[in-house]
Amino acid sequence: MENLKKDIRRLSKKELQEFFVSKNLPKYKGSQVYEWIWKKGSHDFDLMTNLSFKHKMLLKDNFEIRHVNIDLHKKSLDGTIKNAVKLYDNLVVESVLIPTPKRITACISSQVGCSLDCIFCATSSLKRIRNLNTDEIYDQVILMSKQSKYYFNRPLSNIVFMGMGEPLLNYNNVLIAIKKINEPEGLGMSSRRITLSTSGIPKMIKKMANENVKFRLAVSLHSARQSLREKIMPFAKKFPLEELSDSLKYWCLKTRKKVTFEYIIWEGVNDKKVDINALVNFCKMIPSKVNLIQYNPIENSSMKEASEESVNLYVDALNKAKIKVTYRRSRGQDIDAACGQLANKLDLA
Ligand code: SAH
């Protein structure tokens, strides 16, 4: 079997410095390499211009950089770019770059497939294959940061964990990747520009609240009635709304930040007065705002987006209760890059 070299990104800065010292070379060379692999996101020793040929050879003999590659990308009519990102073991996840006049957002994946079973989401048909490692999460950001400059001549402004997978079921790797994205020695991107979106795993929300994290939290709620939520998000049987609301109260108390509830309104599913009242009451318990999301239809599903009238009823009720509400238009629908449409179709094209 092929003997894999060590991935250089598994080394801390100190270890890299020590590696150079152990070869009778200056310690600062280790810092330079560290800067290349993290801050500059370099995936190629040959492009590290402040290293001599000898140093590059030394690195190549000892290490490799197991980075992801963009296999294919498609551009939507609205500018949204969907990337099929190939991992070292040839599995593919998807990352989406979404330009708007004010911001450029990278929507990244945290798992290959997903173990949750939301009936309205295309990713749930893929099942969960494995968690992404820290570098694979970080690399998606690097790749899209380069794309953002190349295609739009603007830096990436926001990151959302709304691609494939449930980030809180890949907790450690996601948190380490976010830390690296934040660090001045990494991408130096402020936590305020990062949003982690979860289907709502109460235990993990509490754990995260205890870690003094500074990023934003979004929760895919879609119904504030337990019986209905269990029907559209069956895993929710294990995580009742009561536990979810407890964990969110705790999150708000600890982080002093509001939670955003993501919410799709479907015709005949959650467009009744009882649904609206339940959401308003739920929001009253938790410092929060609501982001109504346009439904992106998926294959083999009869679910249909609710009428504008139903959306307005929700908006009016939330406004009346002084709960902030926004409406998110779908992006990249023509290339299946919109929320819930990520199911590796590119790969099959
Ligand atoms: N597992 C996480 C992150 C991935 S889903 C979560 O559930 O939050 C990212 C967002 O897309 C969630 O708000 C999810 O509810 C939403 N979504 C899923 N399927 C969708 C669809 N078909 N149309 C619109 N949004 C969808």
Q: Is any ligand 1 atom within 6 A of the Cβ of residue 197?
A: yes
How far apart, in whole angstroms, are the C-alpha atoms of residue 250 and residue 258?
11
In this structure, the strands spanning 288-293 and 325-328 are: parallel
Catalytic residue from among 94, 136, 262, 305: 94
Residue 75 binned pLDDT confidence (cut-offs 50, 70, 90): confident
94 is catalytic: yes
When computed from its CA atoms, the radius of gyration of the chain, rounded to whole angstroms, is: 22
Q: Which amino acid is at 320?
A: K
The confidence band for 346, taking pLDDT boundaries of 50, 70 and 90, is very low
Quote the DSSP letter at residue 99: E
Distance 290 CA to ligand 1 centre (A): 14
Length of the chain: 349
**Rounded distance from Cα 99 to ligand 1 centre (Å):** 19
State yes or no: pLDDT of 188 exceeds 60. yes
Q: What are the structure tokens assigned to 68, written together?
A: 């992801």
Q: What CATH fold (topology level) applies to the domain 6-64? A: DNA polymerase; domain 1 (1.10.150)
Choose the weakest-confidence range: 38-42, 192-196, 276-280, 314-318: 38-42
Instruction: List, in sequence order, the alpha helices (H) in the chain.
Output: 13-22, 27-37, 53-62, 134-152, 171-182, 202-209, 226-232, 241-255, 273-285, 308-320, 345-348
Distance 325 CA to ligand 1 centre (A): 18
Give me the CATH topology for the region 69-335.
TIM Barrel (3.20.20)
| pLDDT one-digit tens code per residue, 200-256 | 999 999 999 999 899 999 999 999 999 999 999 999 999 999 999 999 999 999 999
List every span in the chain annotated with CATH 1.10.150.530: 6-64
Span 176-203, average pLDDT: 95
Say if CB 286 and CB 315 are below 8 A apart: no
pLDDT at position 299: 85
Catalytic (active site) residue 121? no
261 lines ligand 1 (CB under 6 A): no
- What's this model's pTM, rounded to 2 decimal places? 0.92
pLDDT value at residue 127: 81
Nearest CA to ligand 1 atom 26: 340
Q: Measured between alpha carbons, how far is residue 252 from residues 33, 192, 259, 279, 344 in Å?
A: 39, 15, 7, 18, 35
> What is the pLDDT at residue 125?
81
Q: In whole angstroms, give the CA distance from residue 175 to residue 262.
A: 21
- How far apart are the C-alpha atoms of 20 and 116, rounded to whole Å? 45
3-state secondary structure of 319: helix
Task: Give burial (CB, 10 Å; 0-12/13-18/19+) of 113.
Answer: buried
Within the chain, all domains assigned CATH 3.20.20.70 are found at 69-335
